[in-house]
Structure 1
Amino acid sequence: MRLVRHPVLCNYYLTYRCNARCSFCDIWERPSPYVQREAVFKNLKDARRLGVEIIDFTGGEPLLHRELPVFLEYAQKLGFITTVTTNALLYPKYAEALRGKIDMLHFSLDGADADTHNAIRGVHCFDHVMRSIEIALELGERPDILFTATNHNIQHIQSIWEKICLPHRLVLIINPVFHYNDVGEALSKESLMLLRKWAKKPWVYLNEAFLKLREQGGNDPQRPVCKAGSSTLVISPDNELIVPCYHLSAARFPIRNNLFDLYNSPEVQKWVALEGRLNACKGCAINCYMQPSFAVEMNAYWWLALRSTLKYNYLKGTWRRYLVQKIKARKL
């Protein structure tokens, strides 16, 4: 049963450029401009009209865009919940400017020691993550620790949880690695079993629906669970609307200052209707599109995701921020 029929999330790619070289990602290989302020402001207004509630300013590395604090402040004024994930290389430099503007701040950390983390990220950034955690806590921020779990680093979860998350009461987000094109990997049955145990631990957020989807072989085009096109707006640094998702990029449409009408156009809706049904969608388990997909349609995945989501919202207090943003939006 479909519960929500409008986009709830916007993945706004500020740039594809990145100062890391992660082994499970190929975005950093793409040439890219930076988004322009005027386009961002107009698109955020239209996204609000379309019903979007969460803006994920992403990349690449979003902190490479020097106007990120401006975008975040404007998004909050419009009533959005904001989220940013960073490798933390630039966070110490911009921490003060970002203070209070990110509702869900994620620091990527994929190893309990410098050698492991730096090898996965392709640059020396472990010390920057550690310093960024200190700075964020000093500023009164509560960053999440985002751990991308692979078959090779899964044994590091225990140490990160015990030494970083529990002492500081920070949420450990376990993000199961996914495979697309020739990037990433599939998790073994043993890894999935181990992750299922971690989902029950205190101060750990792991969407159990992710695990179930992988155990069942990913998205099935005959009975698609993916609702990427209808639940998520994807905006490129070139100011294009990408459908049905970034990783597939089946079609791109120049926005031209009218995201609202463009999204509702027959041309775009034709692709939205194909969400999860294309041949290339077979076996897909990409977290950033499955997360909103689980939220808009009631099924077995919805119930699993609900339990995990309620746990995260309780730990973070995000539900209070959500109510505040709703009140702000009504006053505009």
Structure 2
Amino acid sequence: MRLVRHPVLCNYYVTYRCNAKCSFCDIWEKPSPYITLADVEQNLRDLKRLGVSVVDFTGGEPLLHRQIHEFVGLAHDMGFITTLTTNCLLYPKYAERLRGKVDMLHFSLDSSEKEVHDKGRGVACFDFVLESIRVARELGERPDVLFTVFRENLKDLERVYDEITRPNKLVLILNPAFEYNAVAAGEQLTAEELDYLSAFGKRPGVYLNEAFIQLRRDGGNHVAAPVCRAASTTLVISPSNELVLPCYHLGEQKFPIEGGLHTLYNSAEVQRLAALEGRLPQCEGCTINCYMQPSFAVETSKYFWQALPSTLKYNWEKSTWKRMLTR
């Protein structure tokens, strides 16, 4: 049963440019403009009208945009839950300007060992993550550590948890790696490794959407009976101010917004393409977390009930439920 029929999340790409070269991502290879404040102001008004509650300012590396603090501040003041993920190379520079404006601030860290993390990211950023944690805590911020899980780094979870997140009173978010297009994420986790990850996710201070684990056990999305609701739950806005459908990773079609996001989203052409969510040939086997998370939240299914405990746990620890009540 569908519980929510309007979009709940916007993935707002401020630029595709990045100062890292992660082995599991190809976005840094793309040329890209930067979004403008005028477009952000208009689009946020339309997102509010469409019922969106969470705006994720993403990239590329979002802190490459010199006005990022203005964007998150504007969205935060309008009552949106704001999220931002960074590799931390620029966070110490922007920390003071971002202070109090990001509800869910994620620092990417994939290993307890500097050499391993930096190799995977293609740039020396491990020390910047540790420095960013120090700076954020001094400012009274509560960032999360976002750990992208591969078979190769599963063994590092214990040390990251024991040596970094627990001593600093941070939430450790487990993000199982996913494949898309020609970007490979290594060998898939085995059933035993999924069991280990599931058990780890039940520890204090750890967030893991259990439905992600179940989806992998089930072989991902299936076009004959799709669980993906990417296009109807999530609006993707490109740095060129386009609405991208059905999701960023497929990017089948891009529609110029031109100041009319609300009208565009409700147009027959966009809704026709949105209706194909999870049903395109490329959607078979998909496990992309950033679209499955909202998909699981809007209709009752086994995935909804499996996702619910961890979602409640995270929102309680981060106190974002208070922001939801005051929207």
SS in 1 for 2:254: strand
Contact map agreement 2:72 2:102 (CA 8 A) in 1: yes
Contact map agreement 2:24 2:183 (CA 8 A) in 1: yes
C-alpha distance in structure 2 between counterparts of 1:110 and 1:165, whole Å: 12
AA in 2 matched with 1:229: A
Structure 1 residues without counterparts, runs of 5 or longer: 327-332
Q: Which residue of 2 aligns with 1:8?
A: 8
C-alpha distance in structure 1 between counterparts of 2:87 and 2:260, whole Å: 32
SS in 1 for 2:167: helix
Cα RMSD for the two superposed structures: 0.8
AA in 2 matched with 1:273: A
C-alpha distance in structure 2 between counterparts of 1:259 and 1:233, whole Å: 10
The answer to whether the aligner puts 1:149 opposite 2:149 as a matched pair is yes
C-alpha distance in structure 2 between counterparts of 1:14 and 1:61, whole Å: 8
How much has 1:199 moved relative to structure 2? 1.4
C-alpha distance in structure 2 between counterparts of 1:199 and 1:127, whole Å: 26
Q: Which residue of 1 aligns with 2:42?
A: 42
AA in 1 matched with 2:151: N
Q: Which residue of 2 aligns with 1:238?
A: 240
Q: Which residue of 2 aligns with 1:178?
A: 178
Q: Which residue of 2 aligns with 1:96?
A: 96
Deviations 1:134-191 (A, max 9, x none): 0000000000000000010011110011111112221000000001112132323332
C-alpha distance in structure 2 between counterparts of 1:85 and 1:66, whole Å: 15
C-alpha distance in structure 2 between counterparts of 1:276 and 1:181, whole Å: 15
**Identity in percent:** 61
C-alpha distance in structure 2 between counterparts of 1:321 and 1:100, whole Å: 13
The answer to whether the aligner puts 1:138 opposite 2:138 as a matched pair is yes
AA in 2 matched with 1:270: R
SS in 2 for 1:167: coil
Contact map agreement 1:171 1:205 (CA 8 A) in 2: yes
SS in 2 for 1:152: coil
Deviations 1:27-59 (A, max 9, x none): 001110001111111011101100000000000
How much has 1:322 moved relative to structure 2? 2.2
How much has 1:91 moved relative to structure 2? 0.2
Contact map agreement 1:171 1:203 (CA 8 A) in 2: yes
1:208-227 superposed matches below 5 A: 208-227=210-229
Contact map agreement 2:79 2:323 (CA 8 A) in 1: no
Q: Which residue of 1 aligns with 2:120?
A: 120
Contact map agreement 2:178 2:288 (CA 8 A) in 1: yes
C-alpha distance in structure 2 between counterparts of 1:184 and 1:38, whole Å: 37
SS in 2 for 1:106: strand
Q: TM-score, normalised by structure 2?
A: 0.98
Q: Where do 4+ consecutive residues of structure 1 move more than 6 Å?
A: none
SS in 1 for 2:4: coil
AA in 2 matched with 1:232: T
Q: Which residue of 2 aligns with 1:205?
A: 207
Q: Which residue of 1 aligns with 2:18?
A: 18
1:165-314 superposed matches below 5 A: 165-185=165-185, 186-314=188-316
The answer to whether the aligner puts 1:52 opposite 2:58 as a matched pair is no
C-alpha distance in structure 2 between counterparts of 1:165 and 1:223, whole Å: 38
SS in 1 for 2:212: helix
Contact map agreement 1:177 1:187 (CA 8 A) in 2: no
C-alpha distance in structure 1 between counterparts of 2:127 and 2:133, whole Å: 10
How much has 1:285 moved relative to structure 2? 0.4
Structure 2 residues without counterparts, runs of 5 or longer: none
SS in 1 for 2:31: coil
SS in 1 for 2:19: coil
The answer to whether the aligner puts 1:161 opposite 2:161 as a matched pair is yes
AA in 2 matched with 1:30: K
- Stretch moving more, 312-321 or 80-89: 312-321
C-alpha distance in structure 2 between counterparts of 1:161 and 1:184, whole Å: 26
